[in-house]
Structure 1
Amino acid sequence: MVAGGGLPHPLVYMHLLGDALHLHADWALYVMHTWLAMAILFLLAFMVRGRLQLVPGGLQNVFEMIIGGLEDFVVSNIGEEGRRVFPVLITLFLYILVSNYLGLVPGCDAPTANLNTIIPLAVFLFLYYNFHGIRKWGFGYIKHFMGPVAALAPLMLVLELISHFARPLSLTLRLFGNIRGEEIVLILLFFLAPVFSTVPMYFLFLLAKTIQAFIFFMLGTIYLQGALDHAH
């Protein structure tokens, strides 16, 4: 609609303003939940740090079990070099885990159900493991992309590069699809059968969200193992 003088009708501006405010509200909500996940992690860390005991108990025992078990997993796969990269891996795991769990809190959304969270995490992990591979092997890192047969090296180089550059996409779609899908199912079940279906599904999705965080952690470990191992 055009008003006198060829200018758009004022209602057009009101409509555009409403759309902009809606987008800003969604963005603010997403950022708020992202910071909430980080605040929870900081709070838990300070709580554990302030009550450290020689004989662990309570929250300290839970964290030591999680961190110790995952560190053993990384070291068993990568070797002693895994202790150097473990802090980054466990940070990614804990952040994704807490972000996933937020989706089960009424009134909250999981930051990991938003591509703005997952894409940076996936790209960071991609850059991180390649950085360590280049740091350790230098130009020889390219051998990791050329396969064991010299005659097939050009073909393998192309295929491996495509495979590696597809990893951030696969990490993103896997986590986003699972977390967003679970939240949609919970919303539908809540309206169809609020009590009898939603409560049992909470426990099932709690397990699923834990598994998704571990899969991201495990794939990061595998990628780092491949970058740090000798090329065959």
Structure 2
Amino acid sequence: MNDDYSITVGSLTIHASIITTWGIMLAFIGFAWLTTRHLKMLPSPLQTVIEAGFGVIEQSILTVAPEHGRQIMPFIATLWIFLVIANLIGLIPGLHSPTRDLSVTSALALLVFLSVHWFGIRTRGWKKYLHHYLLPTPILLPFHIISELTRTLALAIRLFGNIMSLELAAMLILLVAGFLAPIPILMLHIIEALVQAYIFGMLALIYLAGAIQSQQQSHPQE
């Protein structure tokens, strides 16, 4: 294991971003398992906070996709929570946000890309789903395809660029000003990390809702 806590096994190298990502996933699963073992009608303070958080997420999703909000909530809620933790974990000394790695943000963007089509096909069937790419005229098919690819690329690069710049800025300020001056910068780091998680999740939600609702608009008689 080297300085960035990567692991090399023969010719296979598991980089720090992957290790951190799996660590976040395991911690997330463990926390979810522990907090759902003893749910009560009269909630504890922790249960109250968790329920309030999920209430906010649910309301945000239902606002964008009222008819299919509960269908896509598990995916969007998990994505939001993961991004918040991943963006903020770089504040822990010795750790780096996995979202500062372009390969991680590309994987997340690809996951959103595949989920959009999966939910669209699941809702309307693959024939009716693919048909909307031919509307209002088949001539626009190449432009629809380019739009799908470019917005996926933009998702990956936007998150990567913002988190990378945040960590670099924090590191440079620490080197120049020491550990006292960066406190306001630390607060800005937290705010920006939360904003970037929200933007990524909201864009994913809009893409999913658009894929589902476009089918209903294309076939109002059904």
Identity across aligned pairs (percent)?
31
Given that 2:89 and 2:97 are in contact with CA atoms closer than 8 Å, whether structure 1 keeps it comes out as yes
**C-alpha distance in 1, partners of 2:121/2:33?**
35
**C-alpha distance in 2, partners of 1:176/1:155?**
34
Structure 1 position 219 matched with structure 2 position 213: no
Given that 1:102 and 1:110 are in contact with CA atoms closer than 8 Å, whether structure 2 keeps it comes out as yes
Runs of 4+ in structure 1 over 6 Å off = none
**C-alpha distance in 2, partners of 1:160/1:48?**
43
Partner of 1:108: 95
**Matched length:** 209
Q: Among residues 80, 87, 90, which one is paired with 2:67 in the alignment?
A: 80
Structure 1 position 139 matched with structure 2 position 127: yes
Given that 1:113 and 1:176 are in contact with CA atoms closer than 8 Å, whether structure 2 keeps it comes out as yes
Q: Which has the larger radius of gyration?
A: 1
Please report how far the alpha carbon of residue 24 of structure 1 lies from its aligned counterpart in structure 2 after TM superposition: 4.1
Given that 1:112 and 1:175 are in contact with CA atoms closer than 8 Å, whether structure 2 keeps it comes out as yes
C-alpha distance after superposition, 1:147-191 (max 9, x if no partner): 44xxxx234322121011112211100110011110000100001
C-alpha distance after superposition, 1:23-64 (max 9, x if no partner): 949844223212221132123213322342323343222221
Partner of 2:116: 129
Please report how far the alpha carbon of residue 132 of structure 1 lies from its aligned counterpart in structure 2 after TM superposition: 1.6
Partner of 2:168: 184
**C-alpha distance in 2, partners of 1:201/1:47?**
34
**C-alpha distance in 1, partners of 2:81/2:88?**
11
Q: Structure 1, unaligned stretches of length 5 or more?
A: 1-17
Given that 2:170 and 2:185 are in contact with CA atoms closer than 8 Å, whether structure 1 keeps it comes out as yes
Partner of 1:3: none
Distance 1:190 1:51, change over 3 A: farther
Give the counterpart letter for 1:141 in structure 2.
Answer: Y
Deviates more, 1:136-145 or 1:215-224: 136-145
Structure 1 position 48 matched with structure 2 position 31: no
Given the two structures, how large is their TM-score scaled by the length of structure 1? Answer: 0.81
Give the counterpart letter for 1:118 in structure 2.
Answer: T
State the SS of the aligned residue for 1:103: helix
Please report how far the alpha carbon of residue 75 of structure 1 lies from its aligned counterpart in structure 2 after TM superposition: 1.5
Give the counterpart letter for 1:180 in structure 2.
Answer: M
Given that 1:99 and 1:112 are in contact with CA atoms closer than 8 Å, whether structure 2 keeps it comes out as yes
Distance 1:176 1:114, change over 3 A: same
RMSD: 2.4
Q: Among residues 126, 149, 162, which one is paired with 1:165 in the alignment?
A: 149
Given that 1:144 and 1:227 are in contact with CA atoms closer than 8 Å, whether structure 2 keeps it comes out as no
Q: Structure 2, unaligned stretches of length 5 or more?
A: none
**Higher helix proportion (structure 1 or 2):** 1
Given the two structures, how large is their TM-score scaled by the length of structure 2? Answer: 0.84
